[in-house]
Amino acid sequence: MPLVEVTHAPSVPERTLRDLGSVLPHLVSVAVECPEEPYDGDLQPGDVEIRFRAHGPFDRCGLPVVIEVRSKWFASRAADRQDRVDGLHEAIATATGLSDFGVYLSLPVAAWAQDH
């Protein structure tokens, strides 16, 4: 289950943020799918969590939008993580028209539980 945090400048239009919220669940799922956690295209509640955070008065940010993706470490994900994040960046740009943004992919050793 990926956790996604989108930090953004106040100048980023609400429409852009709405577009990101719409496309990120699928695009992130495609980017991190692996044999251990295959993506079947049928997202369920809890499959991808997205949080939006506006820059605060003390934040120092070089880009108007940074998308941080955290997803559980698996060797198959880690082996090609740069290709995954490059592909995700390209897919986001294509789907939203967004430019001047960054994507950070982190694969921590983690566990997840939720009610079914």
Kindly state the helix (H) or strand (E) to which residue 15 belongs, with its residue range. helix 14-32
Collapse the DSSP code of 41 into the 3-class scheme (helix H, G, I; strand E, B; otherwise coil) and give the result.
coil
Q: pLDDT of 27-79, one tens digit each? A: 999 999 999 999 999 998 889 999 999 999 999 999 999 999 999 999 999 99
87 burial class (0-12, 13-18, 19+ CB within 10 angstroms)?
middle
Confidence band (pLDDT; 50, 70, 90) for 96?
A: very high
Q: Taken in order 27, 31, 35, 36, is the CA torsion positive or negative? A: negative
- Predicted TM-score (pTM) of the model is 0.92
Tell me which amino acid residue 79 is.
Answer: A
